[in-house]
A = this chain, B = another copy of it.
Amino acid sequence: MLADIITIGDEILIGQIVDTNSAWIAQRLNESGIKVRQITSVSDEKQHILNALQDAHEQSEVIIITGGLGPTSDDITKPTLSEYFGSKLTENESVLNDLLAFVKARGIKLSERNRKQAEVPECCTVIRNPVGTAPAMWFEKDSRIYISLPGVPFEMIEIMEQSIIPKLVEVTHGRSKIIIHKNVLTHGISESHLAVMLADWERQFPTNLKLAYLPQPGIIRLRLTIEGKNEAQLREILEFELHILKRILPDAIFGEDEDSMEGVVGRLLLEKDATLSVAESCTGGNISHLITLVSGSSKYYKGSVVAYSNETKYELLKVNIDTLINYGAVSKQTAAEMAKGVKILCKTDYAIAITGIAGPDGGSEEKPVGTTWIAVATPDKIISQKFHFGDNRELNIMRASVAALNLLRLQLI
């Protein structure tokens, strides 16, 4: 079963707001076995909305419309839907009662303008809005279902969760396919190399299984999607393919679904009851920031030194001054001494250290922008590795942070 989402509002088309509603709706519909065919954002213009409705009607069985239901003059969804369905606007008693209760609870009076919100197309079924003044509306025409929702995200979400999704699931029961997604997170192999490594595996997929590559800095997310009727069978196929994937990529996979690199590292440290400290140069605090985004990180993370100058490396982290002079700040030796220094300073079991040239300046022929040394100190040794990132400062910081956390992860497993 297919759905179209139509979002109405000039604020989206001038880029004033990012449309987060569509992604949320798409995800929830997907979970309910309804596949979104297209998302269309149109302006507050009657003819444009009518065209979008007609186009969606030709392609999908469920059409979700958000926005344009407010009390101001630029909100024209209701009269437009009225015209589209050949209906007329009339005051709805139950909506009016909800409105009166809503304003009474806030100690204000119902203005004429707000009373207009009780008017809905005669042909619709009203769906109550428990958290706002604009109700949702349910229409049926030529065995299509149309649902009009307010554009305010929390109102839309509340109405969808409480009323629309249960009703849709009931109405479409048996008509919709089951869709299951599984995400696998990888690090350390480029998208094109992954594609080569996974080509044979992908070729033997059943026709109802698909693979997608979703890259972000330092991480490539592999998404497996399977469609069908029998949930247990679909899950079995997914499990089987996942098993093969893990054999093809034994080291690159670090997590699944909602995992993050910093979350996985945190879990491993907790399991070992071990503590962590960090010495950062080129990443300027970003590794520490990622680690502390995880709620509960204070159980294993003790602290960091961001040593952005040679003096700080020398005075705080006790990096030997000869090391800095002989090998330079971006070197295996400096990284190792930084790791050792912060581990002693913060009295932790593990430590990460990183030093590199984030750019855009500071590069040389021998050490171009992006050259980075990462060291990890464990309870009994220090390992280090050289990396080459690109020449974009912000990206280098992100990629280097993920690579550093991954180097620690490999020592923890």
Contact = CB atoms under 8 A, between A and B. Distances in A.
A253 interface: no
Interface string A1-39: 000000000111111111110111111111000011111
Given A225-B14, A284-B292, A346 B22 contact: no
B302 A308 contact: yes
A2 B63 CA distance: 26
Given A36-B14, A212-B10, A304 B306 contact: yes
B131 A390 contact: yes
A99 to B, nearest CB: 10
A392 interface: yes
A132 to B, nearest CB: 9
Interface in A192-242: 192-193, 195-196, 202, 210-215, 223, 225
Interface string A292-305: 11011110011111
State the main secondary structure of chain A at its contact with B. mixed
Interface residues of A, number: 113
- Chain copies in complex: 2
The winner among A214, A311, A394 for most chain B CB atoms within 10 A is: A214
Interface in A65-117: 70-74, 105-108, 111-114, 117
A175 interface: no
6 contacts: A15-B28, A16-B212, A70-B213, A72-B191, A72-B195, A292-B358
